[in-house]
């Protein structure tokens, strides 16, 4: 089993009365040029029909402060609850896609579905990234880089949530020549 995984809240729908959220850990990057990602959703889930109908969703990174809402949205159905109201999260109308993003998320990734792969228990929604929304509080003013550590992101690992910790190296550090 591959763990840990990102714990994201996926938002979908194109009108406020249809907006929904669900928690997903089966998500990730599949290509950098063009930027693409995926999310896997069980066909019987409420949001599956919404994402299929609009062919768009938004991946919202989650934080320690959002952990309770993240878990709650993973165990309750949008058929039975208004998850926005129940969690106190705030939907913001999407910029490049109809799906809203979460105001409280440190980073939101708007995605347009290119293909749906029927795989068994889940369908994989393969999508192109069309926009990234980052909270200015986590951007380095000098470089514009996103500070993932300061954002307090969480991950999901075999039934538990963890806040990401200390960086131990940067890409290529193992082969970098010493000065």
* pLDDT for residue 49: 98
pLDDT by residue for the chain (179 residues), tens digit each?
A: 788 999 999 999 999 999 999 999 999 999 999 999 999 999 999 999 999 999 999 999 999 999 999 999 999 999 999 999 999 999 999 999 999 999 999 999 999 999 999 999 999 999 999 999 999 999 999 999 999 889 999 999 999 999 998 888 888 888 988 77
* pLDDT for residue 61: 97
* pLDDT for residue 178: 79
* pLDDT for residue 1: 72
* pLDDT for residue 179: 76
* Structural domains in the chain plus CATH codes: 5-163 (2.30.110.10)
Q: What is the 3-state secondary structure (H, E, C) of the chain?
A: CCCCEECEEEEECCCCCCCEEEEECCEEEEEECCEEEEEEECCCCHHHHHHHHHCEEEEEECEHHHHHHHHHHHHCCCCCCCHHHHHCCCEECCCCCCCCEECCCCEEEEEEEEEEEECCCCEEEEEEEEEEEECHHHECCCCCCECHHHHCEEEEECCEEEECCCCCCCCCCCCCCCC
pTM over 0.75: yes
């Amino acid at each position: 089993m591959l763990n840990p995984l990102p714990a994201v809240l996926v938002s979908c729908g194109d009108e406020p009365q249809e907006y929904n959220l669900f928690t997903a850990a089966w998500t990730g990057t599949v290509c950098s040029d063009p930027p693409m990602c995926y999310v896997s959703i069980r066909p019987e889930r409420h949001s599956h029909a919404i994402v299929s109908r609009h062919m768009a969703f938004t991946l919202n990174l989650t934080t320690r402060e959002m952990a309770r809402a993240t878990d709650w949205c993973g165990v309750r159905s949008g058929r039975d609850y208004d998850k926005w109201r129940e969690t106190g999260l705030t939907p913001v109308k999407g910029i490049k896609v109809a799906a809203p993003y979460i105001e409280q998320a440190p980073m939101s990734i708007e995605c347009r579905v290119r293909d749906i792969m029927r795989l068994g228990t889940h369908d994989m929604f393969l999508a192109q990234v069309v926009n990234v929304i980052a909270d200015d509080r986590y951007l380095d003013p000098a470089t514009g880089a996103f500070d993932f550590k300061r954002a307090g992101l969480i991950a999901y690992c075999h039934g538990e949530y963890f806040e990401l910790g200390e960086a131990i190296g940067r890409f290529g550090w193992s082969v970098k020549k010493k000065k």
